[in-house]
Chains A and B, each alone.
Chain A
């Protein structure tokens, strides 16, 4: 039975409507309180089996999903396929067949290839939650970022948010971009052009070449992690220069015309894309993001689990 509000799967924010996104955020709000209880568990998903299928190592996201599943009383199985000797593609199609045979209710998948979550969703009847597919989308991260921003700013319509850093290789950036735009926010990106998609100008966002200009404009910065491999890939010359030119530092923020909300999906490279005193500063909501991550994932799992809305 497909969810009446979300359909069968959650694969990305590009395909969700503003109403669907608001509904997930509205559901996550009250769920946050469950994590404050002595018994941090409700029986909502009792009897459901959820497989966490992580082809890429990602401790944070996996743990966040696991907490969400356990707090809703689902039975969970973790499958880590990273480091398997079988090539990625073969593993995926075989895994799909095996999962189908095991009659599980939901799969949370993290995979290094863009489109992998959809690939799986098209081939199994179980519901699929995308926990990050290649450089495509990471919808629950996008949603938790939206929730964190909404907690601070209220309605996001007309709010100015800048995504900073390696947008080219970032699934977080894409999910944020679609989610923010759907809720009516103004979205900008800032980073070296070698780390922005060439077609960024056609994606309906502002582009800042200098971080100073982004800081002057934005009400919130979502600072992406800079993968250290990008240096070897020839995209940037050095981490030191990256920090010099694009790093979000105290000095730069001090010159901003307003207080700016600082977000980071983690894990951070302190001293590269973000300085420690910014990450730990008064306007950082990085830990709220972590808290909200569990609530958002509970909301997504809960909403996907059900059938028709609003019973008697």
Chain B
């Protein structure tokens, strides 16, 4: 049995309140030890020793929201390239949204993703099934069949579940399988034709705005339906202060609502749209500094449960358009950790254990996934990252096929150096200096 010894890192595992310099020992695909320094370790099989001095060793990051484009747009991303990009960003697992072509709305489509991910052999990829057949918003997809094939949740992301009645049914029906219903909160008539946040910047640029209320109306609708049904609603990519307040209201009442926020909504404002930069176009749109502040605070106090990327690669040509004609979305897998470090840890809003909690432990718990812990005997999904390295984002070096990043040329801090999935190193060699360039 092969073993890996992660020697001398700062071991941060909020699932066991662990934050100390020490060692982690992996045997086969499981964790044998995490915490105190081990003396000399001898093994009969192969032993790989990775020097983790100056690094943080954490349970593997989990991204519960990304778009891998396969099947349908393999020119833009594939499950294999997406999984490799995830690993390069320190993610040991990602959840793939079902808005592919065809839509992941049945057992066979879910099985296809599982098989492609196994073949890729990089980060784990968990399929999320569609709420409605073809994501058309009419009738429920077969949750049970999809869960049986490996789906870990349902969502019509890309668009909202517009019908309140369908959302109600989904929340009720999902209870049988104990899976979350993840909703893209957007009141369609208010958001129609919108290209950015509604405010003074949209008024100046002459772009149709999407008001905060488009998100907040659906957020509170979903929270109220969760209260009515007892189902678990997961609110995707929250972007406004109002949403935070509504979620807090729901949680205070014990309603089963969880929520995610994307790194870009924690770091950028609508000002990034200035000059009509299509890499600052996403849905929900970048909001105001006040919203960013509220979201950061919500990550700290747990109102927002977790950070997810909404990684959405697009072909270069598709973003090379007039702003209103360009598609929404940016790639995020390979910058997420650094954006959170730079904008939340460095300014002192959250400490390392909370970062690990929001990117690993809580995502695992919310979606009922393995990992998210370094407890002895659990699966050896581990992220090792350099918390202090400064680097400049160059999307041309991304392993993702997507290059559409608003962080191009930005200086960020913190980067994954090694990613271990099921006891196997899938990214990094453990001691490569990860400064600028790769």
Contact = CB atoms under 8 A, between A and B. Distances in A.
Chain A directly contacts chain B within the complex, with at least one CB pair under 8 Å: yes
A242 B161 CA distance: 36
Contact of A198 (B198, B276, B317, B323): B198
Nearest to A116: B322
Contact of B205 (A111, A114, A200, A202): A114
Contacts of A136: 205-207
B325 A113 contact: yes
B211 A198 contact: yes
A135 interface: yes
Nearest to A178: B204
Given A88-B322, A88-B325, A199-B199, A115 B211 contact: no
Contacts of A202: 199-200, 203
Contacts of A116: 322
Given A114-B276, A115-B276, A174 B321 contact: no
A67 B205 CA distance: 29
Interface residues of B, number: 22
Interface in B181-200: 198-200
B263 interface: no
Given A88-B325, A89-B326, A198-B211, A171 B206 contact: yes
B313 interface: no
Nearest to A202: B200
B340 to A, nearest CB: 30
B204 A93 contact: no
Given A119-B276, A199-B198, A89 B322 contact: yes
Nearest to A114: B206
A170 to B, nearest CB: 9
A89 B205 contact: no
A137 interface: yes
Interface size grouping (class) on chain A? 20 to 34
Interface in A180-231: 197-200, 202-203
Interface in A67-124: 87-90, 92-93, 111, 113-116, 118-119
Nearest to A174: B206
B284 interface: no
A200 B276 CA distance: 20
Contacts, number: 77
A224 B417 CA distance: 59
A145 interface: no
A198 B202 CA distance: 10
Contacts of A137: 206
Given A113-B325, A119-B322, A174 B276 contact: no
Contacts of B206: 114-115, 133-137, 171, 174
B275 interface: yes
Contacts of A88: 321-322, 325
B209 interface: yes
B267 interface: no
Nearest to A118: B276
Nearest to A167: B203
Given A89-B326, A114-B276, A118-B275, A198 B321 contact: no
A115 B198 contact: no
Contact of A93 (B207, B276, B321): B321
Interface in B28-50: none
A203 B200 contact: yes
Interface string B316-353: 01001111111000000000000000000000000000
Contacts of A114: 205-207, 276, 322-324
A275 interface: no
A14 interface: yes
B203 A111 contact: no
A89 to B, nearest CB: 3
Contacts of A200: 203
Q: Which of B209, B322, B325 gathers the greatest number of chain A CB atoms within 10 Å?
A: B322
Ordered nearest first, which 7 A-B pairs have the shortest CB separation? A89-B321, A136-B206, A115-B276, A113-B322, A197-B203, A89-B325, A135-B206
Given A114-B206, A202-B199, 12 more contacts: A89-B321, A89-B325, A93-B317, A93-B320, A114-B323, A115-B207, A115-B323, A119-B321, A119-B323, A135-B206, A135-B208, A198-B203
Interface of A: 14, 87-90, 92-93, 111, 113-116, 118-119, 133-137, 171, 174, 197-200, 202-203
Interface of B: 198-200, 202-209, 211, 275-276, 317, 320-326
18 contacts: A89-B321, A90-B321, A111-B322, A113-B322, A113-B323, A113-B324, A114-B324, A115-B323, A133-B206, A134-B322, A136-B207, A171-B206, A198-B203, A198-B209, A198-B211, A199-B199, A199-B203, A202-B200
